[in-house]
Structure 1
């Protein structure tokens, strides 16, 4: 099944160009407001087939307090807020059949909410995680406070302004003729191989990051690199930059620390990995950009 990449669809109007500093307070008082609630890292869903992450604001009455709140944007004329609750808040919903508490990766894999909501959940998780990690000023160490409806934190002590960040990651399918290079990390599910990936470093182009990471992880030299597609990856807040690279060498060399194996796969191998019929190897999840990269390569 050729499912869409996870987290890429977000129908919210963000209002970033004209973001009202009072939007958060206004939305909190609006009875139409939809609430996305995370207890620590875990979204709280209204159960159903599919369920939804867009909850009534009245659900907050079940939670004794919340740590942060962010104005995400609007759906039509309906404001949407993201709320961070303490991890212990999951206990308030676990025995209620009207709700489900599920990690964001499983929500995408199992299709527990409409696809349009996955991008909103990714946005909420990334922003709330950033607020949780940036309560103190990186410039002077003083406490910071939420500003600009949740899209900034301000330091009253030194005047510094801090903005949410997204970390770029290159993820690449390296090809050489009718074969492609994939690797396996120890944490992967049984039999699964995937594209190589790594963080983009300061002062580095996307193309050079693809070449460097591929050589560091597998000892393969890469020539031409072309961009394919991208994916928000809210673990905690990355943007996956999908590329295809052309290998200049064949001999694989890896150190066994980051990868436990790396090998070349033929297009026939990959087709059988994608349809689940391969005896020894499996493809990455359909929600992952790696699946899209290898699927598009097989079509070429």
Structure 2
């Protein structure tokens, strides 16, 4: 797919500079670089200037390493890499901070519209749910946010050694955890997921999960199981969820999905029929929709179906299917 890397979170041009991760001297030099920048993340929400309310686009806020919030978390910061300009990029998790009157229910909701203003940051610089702003970010900003979210989420859920259960320590500038008790090293994980553009003639298969906003449908998706190819995962997931057999499967594009740390493999599949047998333990509903009706959905004029979220690979694949630009 010629436009594969135009998907959100892909193609930002970040140089991961892995050779610097174990070099303390080089990392200290990078931290002291006048051009160095740090992305603050609170409970998976990056620091931004605003959250999509108004006419101007969202953008990340990168602070200087000598800012107190960055300096106080330097020990466990992550070295993300070098921007195309050569400027060192870091990320710090400040989730230990607890805002006043925190609405935990809102944080746990599908569409978290809350914003958190830290007292040590200028008014208007707030922590915002990444899903709400991802479509407005530059490719580099999106890659930085996705990388930071995924690695920080891994650290949060892997603080103890999987071999012996003892606490592990951060190493390699945040890209490794070492267990001193059994001398085991652990590395960030990425969960492979297939997401499928399943078509039959001029119709595409959509589904919805329980708890999604009313009218929200998307492409079917599911985790790849151990010992399974992407093609086999596509056929299995579609058959399990919708009862539809799939023939030819081709790869289209991939998207890092930092919610919390997946890699979405976008695939196209040709259905062998349209009869649906929905497994309601897997999904709430599934339906076929024509290209003409999907254009109505994307225009926001469909009476019952909402368009997929901008910035998601589902939106990207459907948009290219409508434009006939999948090749």
Determine the C-alpha separation between the residues in 2 that align with 1:299 and 1:63: 48
Pairing partner for 1:73 from 65, 81, 84: 81
CA gap of 1:18–1:52, structure 2 versus 1, over 3 A, is: closer
SS at match of 1:279: coil
Q: Is 1:84 matched up with 2:86?
A: no
> CA-to-partner distance for each residue in 1:212-255, whole Å, 9 max, x for gaps?
00011000011110111111100000011001111113210112
Question: Greater strand share, 1 or 2?
Answer: 1
Unaligned 5+ segments in structure 1 are none
Determine the C-alpha separation between the residues in 1 that align with 2:228 and 2:173: 33
Determine the C-alpha separation between the residues in 2 that align with 1:66 and 1:103: 24
TM-score (normalizing by structure 1): 0.90
Determine the C-alpha separation between the residues in 1 that align with 2:10 and 2:173: 23
Q: Is 1:108 matched up with 2:108?
A: no
- Within 5 A, what are the aligned runs for 1:2-151? 5-17=7-19, 19-22=21-24, 23-46=26-49, 50-61=58-69, 68-75=76-83, 76-88=85-97, 90=116, 92-93=118-119, 96-109=122-135, 111=136, 113-151=137-175
SS at match of 2:227: coil
- Within 5 A, what are the aligned runs for 1:166-177? 166-177=190-201
Determine the C-alpha separation between the residues in 2 that align with 1:27 and 1:46: 25
SS at match of 2:77: strand
* Farther-moved stretch of structure 1 (269-278 vs 52-61): 52-61
CA gap of 1:245–1:194, structure 2 versus 1, over 3 A, is: same
SS at match of 2:322: helix
Determine the C-alpha separation between the residues in 2 that align with 1:94 and 1:70: 21
Pairing partner for 2:284 from 260, 276, 286: 260
How many residues were matched structurally?
A: 296
RMSD: 2.4
Report the alpha carbon displacement of residue 49 of structure 1 after superposing the two structures with TM: 5.4
Pairing partner for 1:153 from 177, 183, 186: 177
Determine the C-alpha separation between the residues in 2 that align with 1:215 and 1:91: 46
SS at match of 1:182: strand
Determine the C-alpha separation between the residues in 2 that align with 1:31 and 1:236: 31
Report the alpha carbon displacement of residue 50 of structure 1 after superposing the two structures with TM: 4.5
* Farther-moved stretch of structure 1 (54-63 vs 26-35): 54-63
Unaligned 5+ segments in structure 2 are 1-5, 51-55, 99-115
Report the alpha carbon displacement of residue 154 of structure 1 after superposing the two structures with TM: 1.0
CA gap of 1:106–1:258, structure 2 versus 1, over 3 A, is: same
SS at match of 1:28: helix
* Farther-moved stretch of structure 1 (285-294 vs 50-59): 50-59
> CA-to-partner distance for each residue in 1:127-158, whole Å, 9 max, x for gaps?
11111211111111121111112111111111
* Farther-moved stretch of structure 1 (269-278 vs 167-176): 269-278
| Aligned position for 2:320 | 296
Q: Does the 8 A contact of 2:78 with 2:91 survive in 1?
A: yes
> CA-to-partner distance for each residue in 1:19-45, whole Å, 9 max, x for gaps?
443244443333432001112222122
